[in-house]
Structure formats: structure tokens, C-alpha cells
Amino acid sequence: MLGDDVLAETALRLYFDAWDRLRVILNDWDSRIPDAPFAKPIPDMWKEEADAYLEDCQTDLQAIIAVIQQSNELALKARLCAVSPYLLLLENPIPLSADPKPLDFFDLRTIDAQRLRQAVNTLCPKPLPPTFITRYDRLRKIRNRYTHLGQIGAPLNPVEMLVGLMDQFVELWPDRAWLSDRLRVAYHDREAGFGDKFWNPAYRVLRMWEGDMEFMPPARFRALFGIDPNVIRYLCHACRKDAATREGLYGLDAPTAFSIEDGTAIQCLACQKPTVIARERCGRPTCTSDIMGAGDHDGMCHLCGHERGSPADIGEPGDNDGFSLLPTLNQSGPRDRSLSG
Ligand SMILES: [Zn+2]
Ligand SMILES: [Zn+2]
């Protein structure tokens, strides 16, 4: 029999798959045309090219809508299944027979996507927000048009789709933690098994995080994480160490943490753990921080990542090609491997 936890996890995996695909589409443009990032209004001199790019993205974007809608539907089915798996069979007759042959649940027809939201709001303890229902119906229609006609008529915009995904997360999973779910899911995706000393799933998520934030409007960020985006300033050394590759912490200067408890600790959005800090001036002359690691992370600056006693110019934030390029498996190519020794 099907479990609600399996349905919910698949819904999340599809959700972050859609997020990643949108980020790659935007990154493909931004990394080539850094003067006209898609997250900002496109300057006039790039408008024509941006419109042409957007037009060429439509097939990909329509396919991503199908993934998003699949995620929505599975999330709603997970809610029904948590009440009873038999609710998934609502409105479809179960072929009863005196023949004692067992029925395969997976052969049975489950509730129509069109009726899912009513079923959840009638039978589950927690109703769906009206904003979710509106978007769900809109996405379902777009997905159906794409499925049946191969096109949808109106153009899709990847930035708006990312914002829609942020709303979706808040509406469907208000008690879940976005960045920590993103990390967990990354450890189970297609590339995860290739993790080695050159690359790992946490490295990829952390390297993408700062770029992710650029696409999150402040109000949406507050809704998703419960805090203002400007307070995310500090590096979580535990998360960086999990993401470290053969190159150490190089390039892992994405802040995921914010100050709590009158400045005696920081809290990380990824690992969700509060970390006690020590008050000590950072040894890097260009850094203003006096928030340093304690215990296992003694002497490591939480603002710039500098380690006590190491040269000031090593690993300075911004000295890598950074978050403008999404790190993928391709980054650890044969050239890197030949250096492994
Ligand atoms: Zn952390
Ligand atoms: Zn520092």
C-alpha cells in the first residue's frame, strides 16, 4: 500500500527539480549576459535578445509547469493518504469480484486532479489557502493545454515561476524548512551518487544558495523563512564543512545563518542548528566582524570565513568566479582529476 510519506517526499523532489531547472535556464542567460540579469528589469539594449531567449525557453518552461503541477498533485494526494489511502480511490469504483484474486492498488484509478483540492478541503483537517487553489487551477489548465496541444498560448516567465514556487512551498508545507529540505533532497537526486572529493550535493546547494536568494523578493523571503533577508549574513561552518571538497572551503562563502539570542549564537537555515559564537576580532584587516566560531570552529570568522593565523588574502569572499555559475558535475572534469595525486 502507498504511504503519505512517500507521496510527500516525491512531491518535494519534483518541487526542487523544478526549482533547479528554472535556475539553470536563468543561469544560462545570466552567465553569458552579466550586464542584464534576468532577476532585474532588462536594459533596453538587451530587450530584443532577452525576448528571443524567453521565446526559445517556452518548451522547457511548459515542461517545468508539468513537473510543478505533478508536485502539487502528489502533495495533495499525500494529505488525503495521511487520512486514509483509500481516499485516493474516491469517485472511482473499485472493481469488486467474488474471485479471491488480490487487487493491485497501483492498477486502480485514483482521484482526478480536478477534484483533488475539493477532496482535501472536505476530508483533511487543514484546508488549502484560497491563493493555492487559484494557482493550482491555473497551472492545471496550462499543464493540460501543454499535454494536449503541445503549447499553451501565453508566454511563461521563469522568474515569475520561481516566485510562484516560493508561494507554493509556504502554502503546501508551512511547517517545513526550505533550505534544509533542499539539502536533503539533493542527497537523493540523480547526481548524488557521484559525490566525491571534487563535488558533493551539499556543495552544489550551498554554491547555488546565494543565487537562489537573488530571485527571492524580500516579502516572499520573509514568508518562506520567517526572517528578513538582510539578516542572513553569517557563514555556518558546520554546513560549509559538510560541503567542503578537495579544495577545502574554497568558494563556500554563502551565508546561511543569522544572529540570535542577543548575539551570543547564530542560527542556520540549512542545518537548522543554533551555534554558539565567540566574540573576537577577525584577523583579516578588511573584515569588520567580531563574530567568530567557538569549539570545533574556533578561530573561524562567521562573516568572511577567514581562519585565525592564515594569510589575510586566502579565500577572501568574492575571489572565486562565484555564484554566477552554477556548479554541476561538469566542474570536476578530467583536468581536475589529473591533479588529484
Ligand atoms: Zn548550517
Ligand atoms: Zn572575517
248 lies in the same domain as 105: no
Residue-wise pLDDT tens digits, 196-223: 777 788 998 998 998 899 899 999 999 9
Instruction: Measure 260 CA to ligand 2 centroid, in angstroms.
Output: 19
On whether residue 299 sits in a domain, the answer given is yes
Q: Ligand nearest 183 Cα, by number?
A: 1
On whether residue 181 sits in a domain, the answer given is no
15 lies in the same domain as 99: yes
161 lies in the same domain as 221: no
224 lies in the same domain as 329: yes
Residue of 118, 108, 16, 122 whose CA lies nearest to 70: 16
Instruction: Measure 259 CA to ligand 2 centroid, in angstroms.
Output: 15
Write down the pLDDT at residue 316. Answer: 62
Q: Is residue 169 within 8 Å of residue 178, measured between CB atoms?
A: yes
Q: Is residue 290 within 8 Å of residue 302, measured between CB atoms?
A: no
Cα 30 → chain centroid: 19
H helices within the chain, ranges in order? 4-30, 44-83, 113-123, 130-149, 158-172, 178-186, 201-214, 218-225, 237-243, 334-338
User: pLDDT under 50 in the chain at which residues?
Assistant: 319-325, 328-341
Q: Ligand nearest 293 Cα, by number?
A: 2
For the chain, how big is the Rg over CA atoms in Å?
23
Instruction: Measure 181 CA to ligand 2 centroid, in angstroms.
Output: 29
- Phi, psi dihedrals of residue 319, rounded to the nearest 5°: -95, 10
Cα 102 → chain centroid: 41
Eight-class DSSP state of 328:
-
All three cell numbers of 69, joined, read: 503541477
CA distances from 226 to 67, 168, 188 (A): 27, 15, 27
On whether residue 110 sits in a domain, the answer given is yes
Instruction: Measure 223 CA to ligand 1 centroid, in angstroms.
Output: 20
136 lies in the same domain as 30: yes
290 lies in the same domain as 225: yes
215 lies in the same domain as 307: yes
13 lies in the same domain as 159: yes
- What is the Cα–Cα distance from 89 to 119, expressed in whole angstroms? 11
Write down the pLDDT at residue 132. Answer: 96
CA dihedral 271→273→277→282, nearest 10 degrees, is 10
Q: Ligand nearest 287 Cα, by number?
A: 2
Q: Ligand nearest 280 Cα, by number?
A: 2
Give the end of a domain, one of 176, 203, 230. 176
Write down the pLDDT at residue 193. Answer: 72
On whether residue 14 sits in a domain, the answer given is yes
Q: Is residue 164 within 8 Å of residue 135, measured between CB atoms?
A: yes
Give the end of a domain, one of 176, 200, 221. 176
Instruction: Measure 257 CA to ligand 1 centroid, in angstroms.
Output: 7
Instruction: Measure 185 CA to ligand 2 centroid, in angstroms.
Output: 31
Instruction: Measure 298 CA to ligand 2 centroid, in angstroms.
Output: 13
Q: Ligand nearest 268 Cα, by number?
A: 1
Instruction: Measure 18 CA to ligand 1 centroid, in angstroms.
Output: 24
For the chain, the distance separating the N- and C-terminal CA atoms, rounded to the nearest angstrom, is 50
Instruction: Measure 288 CA to ligand 2 centroid, in angstroms.
Output: 7
70 lies in the same domain as 215: no
125 lies in the same domain as 214: no
Q: Ligand nearest 255 Cα, by number?
A: 1
- What is the Cα–Cα distance from 292 to 205, expressed in whole angstroms? 24
Give the end of a domain, one of 133, 148, 176. 176
> The domain containing residue 113 runs over which residues?
4-176
Write down the pLDDT at residue 334. Answer: 36
- What is the Cα–Cα distance from 65 to 71, expressed in whole angstroms? 10
CA distances from 12 to 8, 49, 139, 281 (A): 6, 34, 17, 41
171 lies in the same domain as 212: no
Write down the pLDDT at residue 320. Answer: 47
On whether residue 99 sits in a domain, the answer given is yes
Instruction: Measure 211 CA to ligand 2 centroid, in angstroms.
Output: 22
User: How buried is residue 218: exposed, middle or buried, by Cβ count under 10 Å (0-12/13-18/19+)?
Assistant: exposed
On whether residue 183 sits in a domain, the answer given is no
Instruction: Measure 204 CA to ligand 2 centroid, in angstroms.
Output: 23
131 lies in the same domain as 219: no
Residue of 8, 4, 50 whose CA lies nearest to 29: 50
How long, in residues, is the chain? 341
On whether residue 187 sits in a domain, the answer given is no
Instruction: Measure 105 CA to ligand 1 centroid, in angstroms.
Output: 41
Q: How many domains does the chain have?
A: 2
Eight-class DSSP state of 26:
H
| Helix H or strand E segment including 258 | strand 257-260
CA distances from 249 to 188, 209, 320 (A): 23, 15, 12
Instruction: Measure 180 CA to ligand 1 centroid, in angstroms.
Output: 9
